[in-house]
Amino acid sequence: MSATIRTETGSTHAAFLGVGAYRPSRLVPNSEVVDAIDSSDEWIQQRSGIKTRRFAGEDETVVSMAVAASQKALDAAGIDAQQVDAVIVATISHLIQTPSAATAIAHALGTAQPAAFDISAACAGFCHGVALANDMVRGGSARHVLVIGVEKLSDITDPTDRGTAFIFADGAGAVVVGPSDSPGIGPVVWGSDGEHYDHIRTPDWRDILAAGGGMPNLSMKGNEVFRWASYGMAKVAQQALDRAGITADQLDVFVPHQANNRITDTMARALRLPDTVRIARDIIDAGNTSAASIPLALDRMIADGEAKSGDLALLIAFGAGLAYAAQVVTVP
C-alpha cells in the first residue's frame, strides 16, 4: 500500500489586518504635461478626471517605495516583519526582469526569508495578489502575507504620447493579509480576455534593440479599453457581490481601479450603488498607478474617514492582458 501525502489547513477565514501607502513627494499638475502632448488641463480633466499625479524621483525605486508602504502596513497591522511568511508584489515597472522585486523588498524589511515573488497582471495585479494571499492563509501555506502593489510608471511612459502621458503615475500600496475570526475577504471573480492582449502593452525587447535601444514605453488603445472596462467590468463587479452574498445597499465603500473617473461613474450606475456608498476618487490627485492604485485609494479613504474599520468594500481592478479581478473585503 502506498503512503498517503499529509496535507495542511490554515485559518478558517482571512482578512486585511493593515493597510499602508507611499506617495512620492513630487506633485505634477496637468500644466506640466500638456505642452508635450498638445493638450490642455480642461481636456485632461474631462477625459480622465485627473488634475495632478505624482512622479518618483531618481532616488526612488519600485523597491524603496514598496518598502515604505509595507512598513506602514505592518505597523497598522501590529505585525513584525519576522512574522511575514510570504511577500507578493504586483508590478509591471520593476525594470530588472530577474530576480524579483519581492525578494529585495523582503530582505530590506528584515523578514525571516519568506516566500517572495512578483506577479504580472498589470493594473489587476493587486486584486490577484489578495486572492492568492487569501487562499494561502486559509490553505495553511502562510499565516501572514504581505501583498504589495507598486509602480514607477514614469520610467516607461513616453511624455510625448497623447494617449498615455497624462494618465500614468507612481506610488506604492500594501496590505497585510492574515487569519481572522470572521470572513474578511470574499471569493474572487477573475479572468482575462486575451483576444485583446495588445490593447495595453510594452514592445518586445527584441524590437527595441533592433531599433537602436530606448525604454519599453507603454502604449494603449484608449477607446477600446474604455469601452471594454466601462461595460464589461460592471458585470464582474456584480458577480463579486453575488458570490460574497452582499447586495449593493449593504456595501459601504467602492474602490475600483483608478483608471478613469468616467469608467468609475459608468460602473457605479450599472451597479445601482446607492448614495450611501462612498466611492474612491484617488485618480484626481494621484493619476493611474496601475497595480498600486487600489491600495493607495483605500489608504486615502481610511485616512480621510471615508472608509471605516468593519466597512464592506468592493474592490475591482482591470488592465493589460486584458486581465481583471474583483472581491469584497472588510476594511481593517
Residues 168 and 198 in one domain: no
- Judge whether residue 1 has pLDDT over 70: no
Supply the pLDDT for residue 295. 98
Residues 263 and 116 in one domain: no
Residues 315 and 195 in one domain: yes
* CB hemisphere CA count around 52 (13 angstroms): 10
What is the DSSP-derived secondary structure letter of residue 231? H
106-157 residue pLDDT tens: 999 999 999 999 999 999 999 999 999 999 999 999 999 999 999 999 999 9
Mean pLDDT (the chain, rounded): 96
- In the residue annotation, 123 being an active-site residue is answered as yes
- Judge whether residue 281 has pLDDT over 70: yes
Average pLDDT of the segment spanning 312-319: 97
Number of domains in the chain: 2
pLDDT-derived band at 215 (thresholds 50, 70, 90) equals confident
- Judge whether residue 212 has pLDDT over 90: no
Average pLDDT of the segment spanning 218-235: 92
pLDDT-derived band at 307 (thresholds 50, 70, 90) equals very high
Residues 61 and 157 in one domain: yes
10-37 residue pLDDT tens: 999 999 999 999 999 999 999 999 999 9
Q: Which of 94, 123, 128, 260 is catalytic?
A: 123
Share of the chain above pLDDT 70, in %: 100
Supply the pLDDT for residue 283. 98
Q: Which domain holds residue 21?
A: 13-180
Supply the pLDDT for residue 122. 96
Average pLDDT of the segment spanning 294-310: 98
- Judge whether residue 286 has pLDDT over 80: yes
157-202 residue pLDDT tens: 999 999 999 999 999 999 999 999 999 999 999 999 999 989 999 9
pLDDT-derived band at 211 (thresholds 50, 70, 90) equals confident
23 found inside a domain:
yes
CATH number, residue 221: 3.40.47.10
pLDDT-derived band at 247 (thresholds 50, 70, 90) equals very high
Q: Quick one: residue 140, left, alpha or beta (phi over 0 = left, psi -120 to 50 = alpha)?
A: left
Residues 203 and 298 in one domain: yes
1 found inside a domain:
no
Q: Which of 30, 217, 260, 288 is catalytic?
A: 288
Q: Which of 128, 144, 199, 257 is catalytic?
A: 257
Residues 258 and 311 in one domain: yes
Residues 256 and 323 in one domain: yes
Dihedral of the CA atoms 87, 305, 179, 133 (nearest 10)? -30
Residues 286 and 214 in one domain: yes
Distances (CA, A) of 212 to 96, 207, 208, 219, 247: 20, 9, 6, 19, 54
pLDDT-derived band at 222 (thresholds 50, 70, 90) equals confident
